[in-house]
């Protein structure tokens, strides 16, 4: 019941708000829209707290609720069943909580926009879809949510459809995601075929997973992970996420940082029973994760758009999560998902506030000296930066530390050293951003727009969360609560402490470098040397993709479209049509309106049938 309400309320709100908007798009009724949109989300946050309470302090370990049977074809029965176990409870908690805060923030941020009602209808639809993804009891329903969040992401990236960059960015996000989704559904289908008919819920799959041989299982695991690559922006499908920043900033915070992009990690953790049987694929996932983390971190170090930097940092942090779940440390990965949701949402909301305050300036090298202008922004962003860089006692420290420990203790020394280098880069580019925005010499005279309360309160709440929630991970509390199929590799506590201290030095080195370079006089990256140009242009990945995939496709499309389709097939079909029409006219001539002819046709028919009967019965 509670679950149904959590899921259906935002769906209903999206419907009502959307219809209200469609009824009269010009009408300005921000208050009604925000009430419609905020009620279900706040309700969801409260209800998920109630559920969380019963999980943590009560005996509950599993809640289930079946809405209706969605599909029934032969042996295939797919019910729309919602279920919460500890894993999805954690997801549920932060999605509703961060979601609610970002909804409140958006009420202020979007104020005055002509598409206010549309925005909240989309945002509510996104919340509902994300919850469907999380609460789904079987991969098929999960896939529905998976597709719906992709759709919402597309709609919201293209929200400012009048801007030049928005529509290509939205298309890019959708198309790249579709590539992943297609492979994902192939994985789900393969899983269905191999699992057989004993039900297709996650528990049922877990029960019959031993029937599948390892090679097939590896293939399924790989296919599913390609889906995660798309949704969670990993190499090679990460290219859509930086462009997705064309959407409104709260959207970037909610969808492209805190919730949707972590769906891939969640999916891998959901299938922990599957991936723990195929460590080879897990290694591959971890390698992809670390590669994405490093590549994105390097690119982020040479960007100057504040949202792009944050987007690349999201790719990078997601890489860490995949590295963790790849080596089998599911709870470490999930813990980073959890803390990341808070500090990354805070970073984006802070960035959004800065952008609004500076009248839509996004270049960090044209900001500078904001420390004096807004204490609130300064301290909240400082907390977030500390957290993502990994400075105790802020949340990011604990989760990132857990990932590094798990990499080391499972014996992945190369990955660990690369990840540590990534920590250095993270610290460098985040403090680069921070110093350039808040410390560096002020860039000209300006008047900051005042921020409404709806925007500042979420910032403070998220900052408190970022500062404190990391403590949940102390002593493995978080991981024990989740109870996932973690790999068992206990590291010596001395090594853990030494590692933490070592990491602190790495972070300090990165921060120090950033301080030296950007704290006083922030200069945008120049393009003097060939290497630098390569970095500023993001390794020309987009251009390479353009040449390798897009251009040939265009060529094939225009070839088939203009030549084969138009000239060959089209002509043939027209010829056939003409022939058929002629035949019709000829046949129509028989229809001459004279009864004697009609009788004749009947007699011919009767004669033929009689002849036929004779030939069968009489043996002529």
Partner 1 sequence: MVEYLYFVISLLSVLGGASLLLLLTHREGDDLYRLNHISVLFLVVALFAALMQWNLGTRGYLLEGLFGKVLYIDDFALLFDTMFITGTIMTLLINTEYFANRRYFNGEYFALILFSLFGMMLLAHSHELVTAFIALEIASLSVYALVGYHKNNLVSIEAMMKYFTLGSIGGILFLLGSVIIFAATGSTELGAIAQYTHKGSADLTPVIIGATFIMIAVMFKIGAVPFHAWVLDVYEGAPFPVTMFMASTFKIAIFAIALRLYIVDFVPMHGTWTHLLELMAALTMLGGSWLAITQKSLKRMLAGSSIVHSGYMLIAITSIGLGSNIAASAIIFYLIAYFVSSVGAFGILSFISATSRKELTYDDFKGFSERRPYMAAMMAVFMLSLAGFPSTIGFLGKFYIFTAAIESGEFFLAGLGIAMAFVSVYYYFKLIAMIYFYPNKEPQKELVFNSSTLLIILLAAVVVLGGMGSGLIPYMPSADGFIDIATAAVGALGTPLR
Binding-site ranges for partner 1 (CB under 8 A): 69, 72, 580-581, 583-588, 590-591, 593, 595, 597-599, 601-602, 604-606, 609, 612-613, 616-617
CB of 606 to partner 1, least distance (A): 6
CB of 264 to partner 1, least distance (A): 31
Q: Is 25 helix (H, G, I), strand (E, B) or coil?
A: coil
* C-alpha distance from residue 295 to each of 117, 372, 412, 416 (Å): 38, 34, 19, 15
Shortest CB 577 distance to partner 1, Å: 8
**CA 223, CA 322: separation in Å to the nearest integer?**
15
State how far the alpha carbon of 252 is from the alpha carbons of 10, 96, 106, 292, in Å: 19, 16, 11, 19
How is residue 401 written in tokens? 């530390």
CB 240 within 8 A of CB 233: yes
Instruction: Give the shortest CB-591-to-partner 1 separation in angstroms.
Output: 6
Helix (H) or strand (E) holding 377: helix 375-389
Nearer to partner 1, 497 or 601 (CB): 601
CA–CA separation, 591 and 594 (whole Å): 8
Q: Give 495 or 583: the residue with its C-beta nearer to partner 1.
A: 583
CB nearer to partner 1: give 81 or 317. Answer: 81
Pairing of strands 76-84, 63-73: antiparallel
Q: Which is nearer to partner 1, 175 or 609 (CB)?
A: 609
Q: Which is closer to partner 1, CB of 413 or CB of 601? A: 601
Find the shortest distance in angstroms from Cβ 613 to partner 1. 6
Nearer to partner 1, 551 or 581 (CB): 581
Neighbouring-strand partners of residue 76: 73
Closest separation between CB of residue 203 and partner 1, Å?
Answer: 25
User: Can you read off the two tokens belonging to residue 111?
Assistant: 């104020």
- As measured in angstroms, the least distance from the Cβ of 605 to partner 1 is 4
321 Cβ contact partners less than 8 Å away, ≥ 6 residues apart: 232, 262, 265, 289, 333, 334, 336, 337, 340, 403
Q: In terms of CB distance, is 11 or 320 closer to partner 1?
A: 11
Peptide linkage before 523 cis (omega within 30 of 0): no
HEC profile for 145-161?
HHHHHHHHHHHHHCCCC
Cβ at position 195, least distance to partner 1 in Å = 24
> What phi, psi does 363 have (nearest 5°)?
-80, 120
Nearer to partner 1, 548 or 590 (CB): 590
CA–CA gap between residue 336 and residue 319 (Å, rounded): 11
- What distances in angstroms separate CA 292 from CA 70, 232, 527, 546, 556, one per listed residue? 38, 11, 24, 20, 31
Distances (CA, A) of 224 to 88, 188, 318, 325, 539: 18, 7, 16, 14, 28
**Taking Cα atoms as reference points, which of 363, 380, 397 lies closest to residue 523?**
363
Q: How far is the CB of 210 from partner 1 (least distance, A)?
A: 34
On whether the CB atoms of residues 345 and 321 are closer than 8 A, the answer is no
The contacts of residue 474 (CB under 8 Å, 6+ apart) are 398
Beta strand extents in 445-599 (DSSP E only): none
With respect to partner 1, which residue has the nearer C-beta, 71 or 556?
Answer: 71
Q: Residue 243 is inside which H or E element, if any?
A: helix 240-243
Least Å distance, CB 152 to partner 1, is 24
Greatest CA span in the chain, whole angstroms? 110
In the complex, the smallest distance separating the C-beta of residue 135 from partner 1, rounded to whole angstroms, is: 22
Nearer residue to partner 1 within complex by CB, 71 or 544: 71
Q: Give the residue with the Cβ less far from partner 1, 532 or 571.
A: 571
Task: Give the C-alpha separation, 184 to 14, whole Å.
Answer: 27
Closest to partner 1 by CB, 543 or 578? 578
Other residues' Cβ atoms within 10 Å of the Cβ of residue 468: 13
Q: How far is the CB of 67 from partner 1 (least distance, A)?
A: 13
Sign of CA dihedral 544, 526, 510, 346: negative
Minimum separation from the CB atom of position 78 to partner 1 (A): 12
Give least dist CB 585 to partner 1, A: 6
DSSP code of residue 449: P
In the complex, the smallest distance separating the C-beta of residue 71 from partner 1, rounded to whole angstroms, is 8
Q: Left if phi > 0, otherwise alpha if psi is -120 to 50, otherwise beta: which for 53?
A: alpha
Which CA distances in Å does 201 have to 139, 180, 230, 308, 330? 7, 22, 24, 39, 20
């Amino acid at each position: 019941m509670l679950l149904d309400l959590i899921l259906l309320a935002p769906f209903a709100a999206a419907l009502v708000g959307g219809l209200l908007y469609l009824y009269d798009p010009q009408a300005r009724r921000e208050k009604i829209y925000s009430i419609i949109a905020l009620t279900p989300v706040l309700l969801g946050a409260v209800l998920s707290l109630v559920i969380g309470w019963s999980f943590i302090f009560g005996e509950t370990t599993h809640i289930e609720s079946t809405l209706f049977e969605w599909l029934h074809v032969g042996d295939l029965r797919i019910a729309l069943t919602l279920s919460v176990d500890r894993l999805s409870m954690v997801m549920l908690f932060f999605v509703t909580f961060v979601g609610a805060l970002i909804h409140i923030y958006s009420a202020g941020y979007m104020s005055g926009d002509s598409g206010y009602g549309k925005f909240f209808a989309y945002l509510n639809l996104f919340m509902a879809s994300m919850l469907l993804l999380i609460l789904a009891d079987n991969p098929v329903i999960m896939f529905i949510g998976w597709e719906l969040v992709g759709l919402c992401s597309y709609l919201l990236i293209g929200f400012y459809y009048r801007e030049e960059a928005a529509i290509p960015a939205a298309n890019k996000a959708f198309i790249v995601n579709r590539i992943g989704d297609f492979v994902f559904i192939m994985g789900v289908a393969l899983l269905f075929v191999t699992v057989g008919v004993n039900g297709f819920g996650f528990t049922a799959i877990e029960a019959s997973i031993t029937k599948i041989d390892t090679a097939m299982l590896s293939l399924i695991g790989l296919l599913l992970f390609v889906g995660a690559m798309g949704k969670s922006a990993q190499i090679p499908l990460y290219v859509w996420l930086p462009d997705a920043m064309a959407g409104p900033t709260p959207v970037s915070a909610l969808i492209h940082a805190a919730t949707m992009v972590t769906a891939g990690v969640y999916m891998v953790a959901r299938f922990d029973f599957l991936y723990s049987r195929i460590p080879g694929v897990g290694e591959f996932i971890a390698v992809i994760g670390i590669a994405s983390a490093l590549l994105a971190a390097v690119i982020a170090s040479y960007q100057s758009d504040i949202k792009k930097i944050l987007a690349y940092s999201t790719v990078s942090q997601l890489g860490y999560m995949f590295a963790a779940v790849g080596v089998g440390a599911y709870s470490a990965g999930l813990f980073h998902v959890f803390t990341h949701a808070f500090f990354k949402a805070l970073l984006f909301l802070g960035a959004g506030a800065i952008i609004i305050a500076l009248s839509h300036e996004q270049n960090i090298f044209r900001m500078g000296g904001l420390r004096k202008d807004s204490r609130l922004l300064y301290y909240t962003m400082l907390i977030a930066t500390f957290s993502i860089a990994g400075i105790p006692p802020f949340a990011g420290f604990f989760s990132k530390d857990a990932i590094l420990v798990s990499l080391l203790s499972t014996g992945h020394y190369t990955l660990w050293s690369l990840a540590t280098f990534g920590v250095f880069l993270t610290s460098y580019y985040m403090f680069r951003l921070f110093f350039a925005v808040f410390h560096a010499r002020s860039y000209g005279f300006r008047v900051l727009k005042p921020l409404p309360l709806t925007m500042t309160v979420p910032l403070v709440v998220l900052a408190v969360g970022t500062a404190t929630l990391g403590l949940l991970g102390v002593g493995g509390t978080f991981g024990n609560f989740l109870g996932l199929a973690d790999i068992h590799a206990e590291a010596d506590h001395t090594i853990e402490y030494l590692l933490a201290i070592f990491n602190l030095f790495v972070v300090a080195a990165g921060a120090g470098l950033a301080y030296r370079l950007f704290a006083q006089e922030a200069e945008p990256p120049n393009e003097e040397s060939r290497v630098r140009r390569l970095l500023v242009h993001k390794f020309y990945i987009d251009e390479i993709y353009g040449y390798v995939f897009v251009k040939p496709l265009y060529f094939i499309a225009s070839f088939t479209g203009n030549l084969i389709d138009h000239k060959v097939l089209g002509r043939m079909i027209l010829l056939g049509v003409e022939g058929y029409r002629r035949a019709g006219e000829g046949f129509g001539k028989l229809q001459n309106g004279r009864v004697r002819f009609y009788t004749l046709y009947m007699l011919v028919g009767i004669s033929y049938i009689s002849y036929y009967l004779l030939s069968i019965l009489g043996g002529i």
